[in-house]
Structure 1
Amino acid sequence: MESELEPVHIGSQKRDLAWKHCQMFKIENRIRLKCIYCGKMFSGGGIHRIKEHLAGQKGNGATCPRVNPDVRNLMQQSLDGSIVRTKKKQKIVEETANQLMITNEGETYNPHCEAINGLRLLEAPNPVEPNLHLSMKDEEGTSDRSSERWKRGAVGDASLAPLGEAHPIRGLTLGLTRGKDQVHMAIGRFLYDAGVPLDAVNSAYFQPMIDAIAMEGPGLKPPSYHDLRGWILKNSVEEVKKIVDQYKGTWGRTGCSVLADEWTVEEGKILINFLVYCPEGTMFLKSVDATEIIRSPGALYELLKEVVEDVGVQNVMQVITDSGEQYIEAGKRLTETFPTIYWTPCSARCIDLMLNDFGKFEWINVILEQAKSITTFVYNHLEVLNMMRGYTYGKDFIQPAITRSATNFTILQSMVGLKNSLQAMVTSQEWMDSSYSKNPDGLALIDVIYSQSFWSSCLTIIHLTDPLLRVLRIVGSEKKPAMGYIYEAMYRAKEAIKKELVEKKDYLPYWNVIDHRWNRQLHRPLHAAGFYLNPKCFYSIEGDVPNEIMSGMLDSIERLVPDTKIQDKITKELSSYKNAVGDLGRKMAIRARHTMLPVEWWSTYGGGCPNLARLAIRILSQTCSATGIKQNQISFKLVHHQRRNHIEHQRLNDLSFVQYNLRLRQILHRKNKELDALDPISFDTIDTVEDWVTERVKTSAEYEDSDWRELVQPTANTMFALSPTDENESMVAGNVNSLV
């Protein structure tokens, strides 16, 4: 048996003290633990069983006869501590639940009355234990006389309840027998009463807040209104500034990009939010009301110039804005004033325009409308939506992306993935027994779902648009700077479309759409230089480097490195890079071209070309997109209000500074952000999915009484990723000259 055991390494994440006193083995895909003192093998019970074994506790297994007394005592202390912590946590939950039922002296409860502005309360169900007693105390800890009648009988017996005015808290929690449910109800009531957006619970800071409250225990006095406006905000500003200072500390080495993210908000105001990007993280700088100057290139130039000077001309590599004519003119003047800086249009916006142009092709638009006829029907009829979620195991068609154009095609992808589930639903007995199987809308739904030409066209559209969705994902990535990948990604997109349609007459119209946006707005010297300096891309080029890429590289050297002596040194070092001389040609360096980020590769192997490596790191550390966070996640209404007190205005500026930077940091560190559970029919996503979930014309009055309370909610973490494969996959074989 011992010879069949496969040793398993115990990683650093195993932090319990007992892990140092046992070994882990695997046999037939089962994990077993072995005491290092007596050699006893345990097939169950986990590390807790080992700890009991070493501590000498009888009952769940034999005790170890050979363990050192010091180790035995240490294990016993650890077990005692675990018991204490478990009991403390259980006590906190119980006391928190009881605290929700505590009322001031003299308050009583009547389950047959209405409370809170006429809200009808549900009667408390009969408890599992009919003799359950509720102990209620006043603030001094003495028994409340009014609770004696509760102690003598069942909670669910309304005849035993004292008569009087209903209390909102007690009335709403009485029917819940589990402490966790009571806590969740309390959280919900607070969010509803305060008007807090419900997606606030998705905040990365929500769980730490809950943990901090639970650790403090019952009786915690919450912060006051003045605390939140005063010392808490002041401390938060200082915390965020420390994080921002960490970002700023890297700008000298990596450089940074100034982002101008334009928003149109309430009352037609146009705001420009200025952010600064570096690989360490993106920081929010300030928000400017640009309503009066948005059409003036001169005024925009002055605004951009002021921001660049605030950040530091020596740090800024590029300024990214929208691609409107006024920004183009302002950007041209900016680069004339600062000859070491580039102006670049937002790549995400340009890619979105390409997708929008694709959607205007007549045959694609027809298929999108047919697909929308399915989703609008399903998502506006409760019985059908519940039925669909049953057949898809809680998965939804609606997959919101960063823009409406991208959303159109991600939804199409998810629909194709759930095709079999849809077809199974409309052939089921459940569907046949429903009224929808016989009405015109239901019959039209079946026609589309079983149309072979519809699904075939959907697949073709997916093959045409998925490459651009991949590019959009790359330029919006928070994990790695996009500058080293966008040129190759655009090449791959065109090659994938060519491979799908084969004939030049078929793929050329789509290439023309891409070329129109690429050549007019997107293609920039920095993008070409990023391709050239990315070793994975550069060493994959067949033959000579295309002239346009080489020209972009040389242009970047001249603009970004004003010292002519260093320019000459970089030019010489380009030869070493091209021929993989020295450390650049090591076997490790060759393997690392495909595994390391370009910046890491240059930091590790670029020592023989110090000047080129320094420039490469700065170029490859830049983003290509000016898109910040969703517009509805930050409100600048108060900051830009016409009537304001100067002192309060500064406080509001600090509040928006903290709020925006915390959101940015949350996005950077959140795992699986694309898998966040969102309800497709919620108001939070309506901006991008409205055409897919809203019926244009009401079809029948029989659907008006749909009760949302009977709706099966979507399953958590079923959102599809924008692209199923790695965003930096190798370039499609071919000649990169086809792009330029």
Structure 2
Amino acid sequence: MASATEIVLPIGNQKHDPAWKHCLMIRSAGRTKLKCMYCMKLFLGGGIHRIKEHLARHKGNASCCPKVPLEVQQAMQQSLDGASVRKKRKIKLTDDVRKLNPSEVVSAAGDIDPTGSASLQIIPLNDMLDFTAVQIEAKEEDATTATASVPSKTTERGRKRRTKSSLQNSLGSPPFSENDGSLVNRINSAHVVDKEQVYMAIGRFFYEAGVPLDAANSVFFQPMVEAVAAAGPGLELPCYHDFRGCILKRSVEEVNFTLEHCRGTWSHTGCSILADEWTTAEKTFINIMVYCPEGTLFLRCVDATDIVTSSDTLYELWKHEVEEIGPSNVVQVITNNSDVHAMAGKRLNETFPTLFWSPCASQCIDDMLEDFSKMDSVIDIIESAKSITGFIYCYAPVLNILKKYTNGKELLLPIQSHAAMNFVALKSLACLQDELRTLVTSEEWIESPYSKKPDGVAVANLVVSLPFWNSCAVIVRITEPLVRLLKLVESNKRPAMGYIYMGLYQAKEIIKREFMKKSDYLPYWEVIDWRWARQLPRPLHAAGFFLNPQLFYSTQREISNEISSGMLDCIERLVPEPKIQDKIQKELNSYRIADRDFSRKIAVRARHTLLPAEWWSTYGGSCPNLTRLAIRILSQTCSSRGPDRNNVPFEQLHYEKINFSERQRLTDLVYVRYNLRLQQRKVSRSKCFDPISVDNQDVVDDWVLGHRMLFSPDTDCNWLVLNQPVPTELSFDDDAEAFIAGLDDDLIRGAGRGLEEDDEIKEEEDNRDTTTIFA
């Protein structure tokens, strides 16, 4: 382990060499060093290659590790051997290129010199082996990883079943071999493999194996293709038993290593236990995860069918999870919002007085939006909007015409929440209302048979209706703060604990500004209050507001009793030592008056640029006890919702008639697969989203079906004529940042005073204004 003067640095995803999994990166005395995880020897130079030699017990450049496990030693030896073989092969290919006569080189490269110049031109090998869409250039370290990730030694039976003609069978061209003739023949063969052939080969694999098509959206898809290309021709692929055996074993070890790395940060940042509950037709499952700023990790899936209705059994489950992770590390346990979970959470608070139980904020906000969508003034507008999208998505020619005016944009945008989908869709329609009007007034529409259909006439009348669009705009304005807050809560860019209190106040304030009359906005307020405040008090959220420097200093120190009490509750609960509590109380005064480092100009500017926890870590050195508490609170999430669960065999995992050893293997498979899904959520990317795809039917089904079934006899539904959707940038993080940017000082001051106090102040101001007018 690192000493008190050493800081363990995170090893980024760009470190691909397998030896990185068996060492630590240490920052000490201003220098970065590597340390062996087994014998704790420090290396001041030589890089990862020297660590690899140390683990492989190579004598010469590095000392031999006395504690390295045998399997790790063998893996490092294989990696070194593979790098040596590739280096010799690269030297040999370079020599072969030099030996070629000039005409062969030019011909192989497809660049014939019309002048017939006899001067020898050395063309880079990667330029000659042009795979178009398949990139084969890679660093030596990446190539080492690609080769090492595929076991070089498998069972004899598995190797006999493998054939080297697989590439030929899938691409229609002969495979490359080390002894298949001159280099020119290999170069000419490479040009046979064009982009379309590669795409067809991948497609045939997807279709025949039944791979879900949304697997192409995986962030690991492109790296897999590049790793195969970088390994070069003749790669022997792993067999069925390799994927179930050694490869799965190494993947489990990778996830375990990540878990141990995160575990090392829990004592500093704290962590949250997440219980993501979901149901199928017959069973109820709970996915247990743990969150910290380093990421979210999946631990296990529990069949909760028989325990979900009992607060006692749920309490025992949460108690077991807290004890396994360590009560001193856990800041909160986030679960479902039901009364049964609240009772179990109350018992948990009594058993562990140093942590909180919290209901899931995502579910609370989802329920608010669901209740909004059922109000009489809202449901009619939503149904009218669904008739527009349902008609357009039911007729391929109409959809193609619309995309001409929207530059390929879809009417519907991706979001995980079914309830939020109603209001995200309304906003999207409102943003594209000009394009929709252009559609129904264009000659293509008027001359098409779809404009004569009764549904088409009704859609056209709606699109040109000004009252309809005004109503859409009002609904979008009153729900946009909640939708953005939901995206902030589920964002991976910043923990939401420092903003959730502010977000709820903003939602209520904007609703009030929109309707003005108390009788108009009160029904919406009652929904928010009932969904949010029906359970236990939430001092963590109030303390998050208090400790967020951007919000606290904008209130001009006018803090409501609810926020101050929440902060004191957190001090008493999360800091059990009375002496430390007293020190924090004294340090709070320095924070309130912005004393010491808090008053620096750079610290004042950083209130709006740094994440709240980072701000405390940077400028809170003069208040160490308060800083530790602030970081633990501000580093937490507010949601227990995990990524999508499609194609993860959770139900199969709990089948009774499974061999015990196979159940263990399936447990590891689910463990690896779901944690890789969690890793994907951290990567901002463009995703191919098609609203009519069966992959998205759970969220958008009633927005794309219209009044008829999609394949009814009188519907023109030829998917072959549909224009291909364009990639859609996932905007969760962007919307979360837009929420932060939209906070003004007046709004923050109102949130600091609290809704009730703010209302009293405004009523007094209104009364004074009225008195002045009549005077």
- Shorter-normalised TM-score: what interval? 0.7 to 0.9
| d(CA) in 2 for partners of 1:415, 1:247 | 43
Q: Which residue of 2 aligns with 1:476?
A: 490
How many aligned residue pairs are there? 596
Task: Please state whether the residue corresponding to 1:726 is helix, strand or coil.
Answer: helix
1:341 aligns with 2:352: no
Q: Is the 8 A contact 1:526 1:553 kept in 2?
A: yes
Q: Which residue of 1 aligns with 2:205?
A: 190
1:667 aligns with 2:681: yes
For 1:609, the aligned partner's letter is: C
724 and 233 in structure 1: CA distance in 2 versus 1, 3 angstrom threshold: closer
Q: Which residue of 1 aligns with 2:431?
A: 417
User: CA shift at 1:683, angstroms?
Assistant: 1.1
User: CA shift at 1:363, angstroms?
Assistant: 1.6
Q: Which residue of 1 aligns with 2:128?
A: 87
| d(CA) in 2 for partners of 1:615, 1:243 | 25
Q: Which residue of 1 aligns with 2:698?
A: 687
| d(CA) in 1 for partners of 2:672, 2:225 | 20
178 and 702 in structure 1: CA distance in 2 versus 1, 3 angstrom threshold: farther
User: CA shift at 1:101, angstroms?
Assistant: 8.7
Q: Is the 8 A contact 2:167 2:175 kept in 1?
A: no
Work out which of the residue numbers 392, 414, 417 in structure 2 matches 1:378: 392
| d(CA) in 1 for partners of 2:545, 2:558 | 14
Q: Which residue of 1 aligns with 2:243?
A: 228
Query: Given the two structures, how large is their TM-score scaled by the length of structure 1?
Result: 0.76
| d(CA) in 2 for partners of 1:489, 1:264 | 29
User: CA shift at 1:602, angstroms?
Assistant: 0.9
442 and 574 in structure 1: CA distance in 2 versus 1, 3 angstrom threshold: same
Instruction: Describe the superposition over 1:402-427 as per-residue Cα deviations: whole angstroms up to 9, x where unpaired.
Output: 21110110011111111111111111
Task: Please state whether the residue corresponding to 2:534 is helix, strand or coil.
Answer: helix
1:497 aligns with 2:511: yes
1:329 aligns with 2:343: yes
Q: Is the 8 A contact 1:102 1:138 kept in 2?
A: no
After the TM superposition, which residues 560-709 of structure 1 pair with which residues of structure 2 at under 5 Å, given as runs? 560-668=574-682, 670-672=683-685, 675-698=686-709, 702-704=713-715, 706-709=717-720
For 1:508, the aligned partner's letter is: L
1:739 aligns with 2:755: yes
Q: Which residue of 1 aligns with 2:140?
A: none
1:251 aligns with 2:263: no
Task: Please state whether the residue corresponding to 2:342 is helix, strand or coil.
Answer: helix
Instruction: Describe the superposition over 1:555-581 as per-residue Cα deviations: whole angstroms up to 9, x where unpaired.
Output: 111111111111111111111111111
609 and 698 in structure 1: CA distance in 2 versus 1, 3 angstrom threshold: closer
Instruction: Describe the superposition over 1:689-736 as per-residue Cα deviations: whole angstroms up to 9, x where unpaired.
Output: 111012343499554452211211211226666738623233451422
| d(CA) in 2 for partners of 1:432, 1:587 | 63
1:272 aligns with 2:283: no
Q: Which residue of 2 aligns with 1:15?
A: none
User: CA shift at 1:640, angstroms?
Assistant: 0.9
Q: Is the 8 A contact 2:135 2:229 kept in 1?
A: no
* CA RMSD in angstroms, aligned pairs only: 2.8
| d(CA) in 2 for partners of 1:568, 1:370 | 60
Q: Is the 8 A contact 1:101 1:136 kept in 2?
A: yes
For 2:688, the aligned partner's letter is: A
Q: Which residue of 2 aligns with 1:439?
A: 453
Q: Is the 8 A contact 2:481 2:739 kept in 1?
A: no
| d(CA) in 2 for partners of 1:355, 1:539 | 31
Instruction: Describe the superposition over 1:292-351 as per-residue Cα deviations: whole angstroms up to 9, x where unpaired.
Output: 111011111111111111111110000000111110111111111111110000001001
User: CA shift at 1:217, angstroms?
Assistant: 2.5
| d(CA) in 2 for partners of 1:660, 1:137 | 36
User: CA shift at 1:252, angstroms?
Assistant: 0.6
For 1:219, the aligned partner's letter is: G
For 1:254, the aligned partner's letter is: T
433 and 271 in structure 1: CA distance in 2 versus 1, 3 angstrom threshold: same
Q: Is the 8 A contact 2:485 2:503 kept in 1?
A: yes
700 and 693 in structure 1: CA distance in 2 versus 1, 3 angstrom threshold: closer
Bigger mean CA offset, 496-505 vs 207-216: 496-505
User: CA shift at 1:501, angstroms?
Assistant: 2.2
Instruction: Describe the superposition over 1:51-72 as per-residue Cα deviations: whole angstroms up to 9, x where unpaired.
Output: xxxxxxxxxxxxxxxxxxxxxx
1:715 aligns with 2:698: no
724 and 322 in structure 1: CA distance in 2 versus 1, 3 angstrom threshold: closer
Instruction: Describe the superposition over 1:641-678 as per-residue Cα deviations: whole angstroms up to 9, x where unpaired.
Output: 1111111111111111111111111211x124xx5221
Q: Is the 8 A contact 1:350 1:522 kept in 2?
A: no
Q: Which residue of 2 aligns with 1:518?
A: 532
| d(CA) in 2 for partners of 1:495, 1:349 | 21
| d(CA) in 1 for partners of 2:327, 2:711 | 63
1:260 aligns with 2:275: yes
177 and 298 in structure 1: CA distance in 2 versus 1, 3 angstrom threshold: same
User: CA shift at 1:542, angstroms?
Assistant: 4.1
For 1:308, the aligned partner's letter is: V
| d(CA) in 2 for partners of 1:682, 1:80 | 52
| d(CA) in 2 for partners of 1:321, 1:505 | 34
Q: Which residue of 2 aligns with 1:130?
A: none
User: CA shift at 1:243, angstroms?
Assistant: 1.3
For 2:723, the aligned partner's letter is: V
Q: Is the 8 A contact 2:167 2:173 kept in 1?
A: no
| d(CA) in 2 for partners of 1:738, 1:719 | 34
Q: Which residue of 2 aligns with 1:448?
A: 462
After the TM superposition, which residues 20-59 of structure 1 pair with which residues of structure 2 at under 5 Å, given as runs? none
| d(CA) in 2 for partners of 1:532, 1:361 | 34
1:726 aligns with 2:742: no
For 1:688, the aligned partner's letter is: V
1:312 aligns with 2:326: yes
For 2:125, the aligned partner's letter is: V
Q: Which residue of 1 aligns with 2:311?
A: 297
User: CA shift at 1:289, angstroms?
Assistant: 0.4
- Residue identity over aligned pairs, in percent, reads 51
User: CA shift at 1:488, angstroms?
Assistant: 1.0
| d(CA) in 1 for partners of 2:389, 2:421 | 13
User: CA shift at 1:518, angstroms?
Assistant: 2.4
Task: Please state whether the residue corresponding to 2:494 is helix, strand or coil.
Answer: coil
426 and 719 in structure 1: CA distance in 2 versus 1, 3 angstrom threshold: farther
Q: Is the 8 A contact 2:413 2:424 kept in 1?
A: yes
Q: Is the 8 A contact 1:319 1:343 kept in 2?
A: yes
226 and 724 in structure 1: CA distance in 2 versus 1, 3 angstrom threshold: closer
For structure 2, the residue ranges without an aligned partner over 5 or more in a row are 1-119, 137-163, 182-190, 757-775
User: CA shift at 1:497, angstroms?
Assistant: 1.8
1:464 aligns with 2:475: no
| d(CA) in 1 for partners of 2:315, 2:401 | 56
Q: Which residue of 2 aligns with 1:360?
A: 374
User: CA shift at 1:218, angstroms?
Assistant: 2.8
Work out which of the residue numbers 230, 250, 253 in structure 2 matches 1:238: 253
Q: Is the 8 A contact 1:639 1:653 kept in 2?
A: yes
| d(CA) in 2 for partners of 1:137, 1:685 | 39
Q: Is the 8 A contact 2:133 2:195 kept in 1?
A: no
Q: Is the 8 A contact 1:470 1:727 kept in 2?
A: yes
Bigger mean CA offset, 502-511 vs 334-343: 502-511
519 and 135 in structure 1: CA distance in 2 versus 1, 3 angstrom threshold: closer
311 and 94 in structure 1: CA distance in 2 versus 1, 3 angstrom threshold: closer
429 and 727 in structure 1: CA distance in 2 versus 1, 3 angstrom threshold: same
Instruction: Describe the superposition over 1:106-132 as per-residue Cα deviations: whole angstroms up to 9, x where unpaired.
Output: xxxxxxxxxxxxxxxxxxxxxxxxxxx
User: CA shift at 1:139, angstroms?
Assistant: 9.4
Query: Given the two structures, how large is their TM-score scaled by the length of structure 2?
Result: 0.73
